[in-house]
Amino acid sequence: MAAENVLIQTYAMFVFLISRLIFSFGNKSKPWISTTTTTNNKGPTTTPLFPNNNKENGYNLRNDSEALEMASSDYGNMVREIPAAVLDPSSINDIANLIKSSNNSSTPFRIAPRGQGHSIRGQAMAKNGVVINMTALKGHRNGTGIVVSGNRTASGSGYYYYADVGGEQLWIDVLHATLEHGLSPVSWTDYLYLTVGGTLSNAGISGTAFRYGPQISNVYELDVITGKGEFVTCSAHKNSELFHAVLGGLGQFGVIVRARIVLEPAPKRVKWVRMLYTNFSEFAEDQERLIKMNDRKDKNALDYLEDRVRSGELKLQSQGLWEVPHPWLNLFIPKSRIEEFNAAVFKDIVLKRNITTGPVLLYPMNRNK
Ligand SMILES: Cc1cc2nc3c(=O)[nH]c(=O)nc-3n(C[C@H](O)[C@H](O)[C@H](O)COP(=O)(O)OP(=O)(O)OC[C@H]3O[C@@H](n4cnc5c(N)ncnc54)[C@H](O)[C@@H]3O)c2cc1C
């Protein structure tokens, strides 16, 4: 069939293995300095980077053990990088000022924005630098953290909807706020207790991506604090290079402080079907068949959303098993190699060695989404 030729399916896999990636905002491995030194004809003068560092003046740069502990660990529980300080921003300006301070310093320091810290390999850490605790911004938004709006389409024949969301907001809160208007984002992660800035700095993939693409394909616009500490609004049409660099950019190209997320009317009812397979080939073929119905407007197309991870989290937390190392790995496998992967990895390694604890998620994807 023609449709079969057009679709290029790729499988995204989430398995328990190790990936090693090093991320932090800026790549300079310089020690954090809390002072800056200038020299004039009277000799060197040393001044603190944040001379007015206290809550009243807007900065809240902390180096107490609780803050440092939080910022030097993550969900993966395999990497530990201790920062010199943690910034609890009370405004977007605090973030801009911190980045400018680093730029103006003779020894710039590392800066990493941190959402929920659900990364696996220290991506939100900043050794000897400053971690920006994005979630601190939540308390300072004064009701502007999630704002739902609609506009007429260019043709004037209908409306399109969106939510302006702070980078520090959780997807679960975005879901609740948009549902109040009968709307919802279209592309999700399976687990919703992640920040908008955090998943947009990755990709945001789940069982909805085959139809709508990943979350980064469903953003109209971003407000970003750049590496120079400048506030820039960007989209696919305006400052597009920055827009595409920041989406999926792991905090390397700027800090997302607002994202305009695509919304569509939320379904009022859904039908959930669970099917069990014992034959991998049949399972893979059915997945491929089902995701061929993938037009956004197609009423017969399948949708998919479930927050099955949250219930697992609560159960593991109650057993003290949530804080263990999580050596996860995400892989994209081309359709042409999935059978081979099944034989070599699932059958020959996982089943033969009986290492079957923990889930393996297999998402069929359309690469053109
Ligand atoms: C239980 C669990 C389930 C998951 N399920 C899925 C899933 O279904 N699909 C999926 O795609 N992923 C999933 N993930 C992975 C998840 O999307 C990433 O780990 C994501 O980074 C977590 O968001 P966070 O808010 O914790 O970000 P963090 O781990 O805090 O940060 C992630 C990266 O983004 C950067 N960053 C954070 N905030 C900002 C910002 N505002 N601006 C710029 N950069 C920023 C950080 O510096 C870091 O590089 C899951 C993770 C866990 C732990």
For residue 203, list its beta bridge partners.
none
**Closest atom of ligand 1 to CA, residue 251:** 44
Q: What is the number of the ligand 1 atom nearest to the C-alpha of 312?
A: 1
CA–centroid distance, residue 117 to ligand 1 (Å): 7
For ligand 1, what atom is nearest to the CA of residue 167?
Answer: 41
Q: Which residue is closest in CA terms to ligand 1's atom 13? A: 189
Ligand 1 atom closest to the CA of 203, numbered from 1 = 11
Among 116, 139, 162, the domain boundary falls at: 139
Note the pLDDT of residue 157.
Answer: 86
Give the closest residue (by CA) to ligand 1 atom 28. Answer: 117
Domain assignment present for residue 65? The answer is yes
**Distance between CA atoms of 243 and 222, rounded to whole angstroms?**
7
Which of 77, 202, 208, 310 to probe ligand 1 with, by most ligand atoms within 8 A of CB?
202
Residue nearest to atom 37 of ligand 1 (CA): 198
pLDDT at 355: 84
pTM of the model: 0.86
Examine the domain organization and report whether 242 and 284 are in the same domain.
no
Number of residues that this document lists for the chain: 369
114 lies in a domain? Answer: yes
CA of 276 to the centre of ligand 1 (A): 30
- Report CA(155)–ligand 1 centroid distance (Å): 37
The verdict on residue 120 lying in a domain is yes
What is the distance between the alpha carbons of residues 52 and 102, in angstroms, rounded to a whole number? 16
Q: What ligand 1 atom has the least distance to the C-alpha of 75? A: 53
Residue recorded with tokens 């300079």: 28
Asked whether residue 2 is assigned to any structural domain, the reply reads no
Closest CA to 11 of 209, 273, 250: 209
Residue 72 and residue 162 in one domain: no
Ligand 1 atom nearest to CA at 123: 49
- Verify that 188 and 213 share a domain, yes or no: yes
CA 193 to centroid of ligand 1, rounded, Å:
10
pLDDT at 270: 84
Whether 87 and 133 have beta carbons less than 8 Å apart is answered as yes
User: Same domain, yes or no, for 158 and 256?
Assistant: yes
Last residue of a domain, which of 265, 294, 329? 265
pLDDT at 15: 39
Q: Which atom of ligand 1 is nearest to the CA of 198?
A: 27
Q: Are residues 214 and 281 in the same domain?
A: no
Distance (Å, whole) CA 347 – CA 344: 6
Q: 103-133: per-residue pLDDT in tens?
A: 998 889 999 999 999 999 999 999 999 999 9
The answer to whether residues 156 and 133 belong to one domain is no
Domain-embedded: residue 258:
yes
The rounded Å distance from CA 240 to ligand 1 centre is: 23
6 CA → ligand 1 middle, Å: 32
> How remote is the CA of residue 199 from the centroid of ligand 1, in Å?
4
- The reported pLDDT for the residue numbered 14 is 44
Tell whether 94 and 76 lie within a shared domain. Answer: yes
Asked whether residue 259 falls in the same domain as residue 275, the answer is: no
Residues 295 and 192 placed together within one structural domain of the fold:
no
pLDDT score recorded for residue 356:
75
Residue ranges of the chain with per-residue pLDDT less than 50: 1-8, 13-33, 36-38, 47, 51, 305-306
Give residue ranges with CB within 6 A of ligand 1: 23, 75, 112-119, 123-124, 134, 167, 189-191, 194-195, 197-199, 201-206, 250-251, 255-256, 309
Q: What spacing in Å lies between the alpha carbon of 118 and ligand 1's midpoint?
A: 5
Please tell me the predicted confidence (pLDDT) of residue 40: 60
The single-letter code of the amino acid at 70 is M
Domain match, 157 and 218 both: yes
In terms of C-beta density within 10 A (0-12 exposed, 13-18 middle, 19 or more buried), how is residue 58 classed? middle
Kindly state whether residues 172 and 134 are assigned to the same domain.
no
How does DSSP classify residue 84?
S
Task: Please indicate, yes or no, if residue 331 is contained in any of the structural domains.
Answer: yes
CATH number at residue 233: 3.30.465.10
DSSP-assigned letters across all residues of 184-234: EES---S---SBHHHHHTT---STTHHHH--GGGSEEEEEEE-TTS-EEEE
- Domain of 355, in residue numbers: 9-25+269-366
Ligand 1 atom with minimal separation from the 113 CA: 47
Same domain for 359 and 303? yes
Nearest C-alpha to atom 21 of ligand 1 is from which residue?
198
How confident is the model at residue 308, as a pLDDT?
62
Task: Identify whether 4 is part of a domain.
Answer: no
Number of folded domains in the chain? 3
Residue after which a domain boundary falls, among 265, 299, 329: 265
In a domain, 3, yes or no: no
